[in-house]
Amino acid sequence: MRGASTDVAIIGGGLIGVWTAFFLARRGQRVVLFERDVVGAQSSGTNFGNLRLQGRFPGQYPLALRSHELWEDFEALIGEGCEFARTGHLYCAFDAAEQARLEAYAQVSQQHGVVIERLEQPELRKRFPWLGGRAVAATYSPRDATANPRLATPAVARAARRLGVEIRENARVTAVARHGAGFVVTTADGTELGCGALVNAAGAWAVEMAECFGETAPVFAAGPPQFVTEPLPFVMAPSLQTIDGSVIARQTERGNVILAGYPRTAADAVGNRAPVPPAKTLAAMRALAGLVPALAHGHVIRVWSGIEGYLPDMIPVIGRSETTPWLFHAFGFCGHGFQIGPGVGHYLSDMIVDGADPPPLAPFSIARFRTSATISDKFHKEFDDRPDKGNRALSARPS
Ligand SMILES: Cc1cc2nc3c(=O)[nH]c(=O)nc-3n(C[C@H](O)[C@H](O)[C@H](O)COP(=O)(O)OP(=O)(O)OC[C@H]3O[C@@H](n4cnc5c(N)ncnc54)[C@H](O)[C@@H]3O)c2cc1C
């Protein structure tokens, strides 16, 4: 191929793509990022905004903690804010069995240096008087935070541009192929670009790119429905969650309450649709009213969801390709990608520039789908009715 070339091309202008571009540019790489829409148009711009540390998959803590430091430094690093707020996160249990599960989470979090406070009634009610009587116990993580997803991705993209990254929006990648020791990337308008390394950060659409290089993973598209109420009197400072998943809520300073309706709903990545079943809106408000009676009379004014890539073990694929040198994947973030996005960009840029294998990325290799990736309990709980579930999960394994 003759013509334009760059060191690294990135497919996908979500949070993962823009953070990776930002850190690569800081390491002196020439980077071109392709986004078929505008940056942050998909799950990175539509998510709930939780930066939760407690209750994570144990192998994810080194990545989550590094990411949290970067969120805490966001304004200094990026040059503008994203409504980052250290709200704390309150995880509630309705009975003794749930309290035991919270305790198990708390112990793992603490092993990784996360401060967890344990609260039981009546102290819980005294500390958070807006909680009704249903929650018997809770764990509180004061360092957990929230940020505004609408602001974060475009802000990181602007900072990357200032470092010299070329961001091509409305530029859908239609073909990727090996060319010499590197790659050639073709967009819908027929433009070609050569690159030495290629990052596949195409979200729920990333497997199409991986499959161009004889590699796959059992990704499927889903998203949790989201609801926002009219502004209500401000009562709830921490982000709130019940361990049974019936309530995930936070209140903005303006008073609007944002809720997430679990279990997640299947999304249509081909048709670009993420439906919100009306019954979920009513169920989410009912569950919130049961936990925070002061918010019982709020009206939901808008609903939405997003299209995100999920994998059956409910952890992402991050790292080098198993088939193709200089190809790197970062997709299938299973609902955690907002929190860990900065760390993914940071460690992936080290992997690309230094040829290193950063230990925090070790659990996320795509290689696990060639051997014995486990199916998570969460997957069974939320997605058991998916007709294609088992087949797709198994199809990525060797016969
Ligand atoms: C409703 C919802 C709520 C969530 N809540 C939270 C939360 O509270 N906390 C948390 O940590 N995580 C949350 N998540 C998860 C988080 O939003 C995602 O994990 C994260 O945004 C994934 O980022 P990404 O860059 O991989 O994907 P995306 O944001 O989907 O970006 C991928 C990009 O690739 C582009 N693309 C695809 N194909 C091509 C192509 N061929 N050419 C060019 N561009 C292409 C797409 O247009 C898209 O913009 C939530 C997700 C959803 C949907």
Q: Is the CB of 35 under 6 A from ligand 1?
A: yes
Q: Whose CA is nearest to atom 53 of ligand 1?
A: 306
SS3 of residue 119 by DSSP = strand
SS3 of residue 233 by DSSP = coil
CATH number at residue 213: 3.50.50.60
Centre of ligand 1 to C-alpha 46, Å, is 8
Q: Whose CA is nearest to atom 37 of ligand 1?
A: 202
Q: Is residue 289 part of a domain?
A: no
Count of the separate structural domains present in the chain: 1
Query: Which atom from ligand 1 is nearest to the alpha carbon of 173?
Result: 42
Is the pLDDT at 357 greater than 70, yes or no? Answer: yes
Q: How far is CA 310 from the centre of its chain?
A: 10
What is the DSSP secondary structure assignment for residue 326, as one 8-state letter? T
| Dihedrals phi, psi of 67, to nearest 5 degrees | -60, -40
Q: Is the CB of 36 under 6 A from ligand 1?
A: yes
SS3 of residue 12 by DSSP = coil
Q: Is residue 142 part of a domain?
A: no
Q: Is residue 89 part of a domain?
A: no
By CB atoms closer than 10 A (0-12, 13-18, 19+), residue 182 is buried
Centre of ligand 1 to C-alpha 96, Å, is 36
| Dihedrals phi, psi of 154, to nearest 5 degrees | -60, -35
Q: What is the pLDDT of residue 384?
A: 53
Where is 88: in which H helix or E strand?
A: none
Separation of alpha carbons 52 and 20, rounded Å: 21
- Segment 28-57, tens digit of pLDDT: 999 999 999 999 999 999 999 999 999 999
Structure-token pair, residue 261: 């309706």
By CB atoms closer than 10 A (0-12, 13-18, 19+), residue 381 is exposed
Q: What is the pLDDT of residue 394?
A: 34
Q: Is residue 23 part of a domain?
A: yes
Q: Is the CB of 6 under 6 A from ligand 1?
A: no
| Dihedrals phi, psi of 110, to nearest 5 degrees | -65, -35
Instruction: For residue 211, name the pLDDT band (cuts at 50, 70, 90).
Output: very high
Domain of 342, in residue numbers: 5-47+150-218+311-374
Centre of ligand 1 to C-alpha 150, Å, is 12
User: 149: Cβ–Cβ under 8 A, 6 or more apart, which residues?
Assistant: 15, 40, 44, 45, 46, 47, 48, 49, 338
**Which one is predicted more confidently, 391 or 293?**
293
Q: Is the CB of 172 under 6 A from ligand 1?
A: yes
SS3 of residue 36 by DSSP = coil
- Segment 332-350, tens digit of pLDDT: 999 999 999 999 999 999 9
Q: Is residue 397 part of a domain?
A: no
Choose among 365, 330, 244: nearest CA to 23: 330
Q: Is the CB of 339 under 6 A from ligand 1?
A: yes
Q: Is residue 392 part of a domain?
A: no
Centre of ligand 1 to C-alpha 45, Å, is 7
Q: Is residue 193 part of a domain?
A: yes
Separation of alpha carbons 197 and 193, rounded Å: 12
Centre of ligand 1 to C-alpha 337, Å, is 7
Q: What is the pLDDT of residue 387?
A: 43
User: 294: Cβ–Cβ under 8 A, 6 or more apart, which residues?
Assistant: 130, 233, 235
Residues 29, 196: contact at Cβ < 8 Å?
Answer: no
Q: Whose CA is nearest to atom 31 of ligand 1?
A: 14
Q: Is the CB of 46 under 6 A from ligand 1?
A: yes
Q: Is the CB of 298 under 6 A from ligand 1?
A: no
Query: Which atom from ligand 1 is nearest to the alpha carbon of 16?
Result: 25
Q: Whose CA is nearest to atom 41 of ligand 1?
A: 173
Separation of alpha carbons 304 and 325, rounded Å: 39
Q: What is the pLDDT of residue 337?
A: 98
Q: With both helix axes pointing from N to C terminus, report the angle between 337-354 and 15-26 in degrees, rounded to the nearest 10.
A: 40
Q: What is the pLDDT of residue 210?
A: 97
Query: Which atom from ligand 1 is nearest to the alpha carbon of 174?
Result: 41
